[in-house]
Amino acid sequence: MPAEPGIVHLGLGAFFRAHGAVYVSRAMQASGGDWDIIGVSLQSPTMRDALAPQGFAYHAVEQGPEGETVRRIEVVQDILVAKEDPEAVLAAMARASVKIVSLTVTEKGYCHNPATGALNPDHPDIAHDLAGPLPRSAPGYLVRALQRRHAAGLPPFSVLCCDNLPENGRVVRGVVLDLARRIDPALADWIEAEGRFPSTMVDRIVPATKPEDIARLQAQGIEDNLPVMHEPFSQWVVEDDFVGGERPDLGAVGVQLVEDVTPFEHMKLRMLNGTHSSLAYLGYLAGHETIADTVADPVFAAFVQKLWRDEIIPVLTPPPGVELAAYADQLLGRYRNPAIRHRTWQIAMDGSQKLPQRILGTLAETLAAGRSAPGLMLAVAGWMRYVGGTDEAGRPIEVKDPLAADLARRAAEGVPALLALRAVFSEDLARALESGVTAAHDRLRAVGARKAVEDLL
Quick check: is 2 in a domain?
no
Q: Can you say whether residue 200 is alpha, beta or left, with left for phi > 0 and alpha for psi between -120 and 50 degrees?
A: beta
Helix, strand, or coil (residue 314):
helix
CATH number for the domain including 198? 3.40.50.720
Residue-wise pLDDT for 326-340, tens only, equals 999 999 999 999 999
Distance CA 402, CA 112 (A): 12
Q: What share of the chain is helix, strand, coil (3-state, %, to 5)?
A: 55, 15, 35
CATH number for the domain including 399? 1.10.1040.10
Same domain, 390 and 352: yes
pLDDT value, residue 268? 95
Residue-wise pLDDT for 86-110, tens only, equals 999 999 999 999 999 999 999 899 9
Average pLDDT in the 74-93 region?
A: 98
Angstrom distances, CA of residue 193 to CA of 51, 132, 167, 188: 38, 25, 19, 9
Same domain, 250 and 272: no
Instruction: Indicate the residue among 238, 258, 278 that finishes a domain.
Output: 258
Q: For residue 288, how many C-alpha atoms fall within 13 Å in the half-sphere facing its CB?
A: 26
Residue-wise pLDDT for 363-401, tens only, equals 999 999 999 999 999 999 999 999 999 999 999 999 999
Distance CA 378, CA 35 (A): 45
**pLDDT > 70: percent of the chain:** 100
Q: Does the pLDDT at position 61 exceed 80?
A: yes
Same domain, 285 and 383: yes
Q: Treating both helix axes as pointing N-terminal to C-terminal, what angle do 168-183 and 124-131 enclose, rounded to 10 degrees?
A: 40
Quick check: is 1 in a domain?
no
Quick check: is 386 in a domain?
yes
Same domain, 248 and 151: yes
Quick check: is 270 in a domain?
yes
**Sign of torsion over alpha carbons 120, 123, 126, 127:** positive
Instruction: Indicate the residue among 211, 226, 258 that finishes a domain.
Output: 258
Same domain, 233 and 312: no
Name which of 146, 8, 162, 149 is nearest 77 in CA terms: 8
Same domain, 309 and 212: no
Distance CA 398, CA 404 (A): 10
Residues composing the chain: 457
- For 176, list phi and psi in degrees, rounded to 5: -65, -45
**Sign of torsion over alpha carbons 247, 253, 255, 257:** positive
Residue 14 domain boundaries:
7-258
pLDDT value, residue 66? 86
pLDDT value, residue 1? 58
Name which of 328, 329, 338, 326 is nearest 294 in CA terms: 338
Q: Which DSSP state fits 42?
A: S
One-letter amino acid of 146: L
Please state the domain count of the chain. 2
Contact 222, 184 (CB under 8 A): no
Angstrom distances, CA of residue 258 to CA of 123, 200, 251: 34, 9, 10
Instruction: Indicate the residue among 211, 241, 258 that finishes a domain.
Output: 258
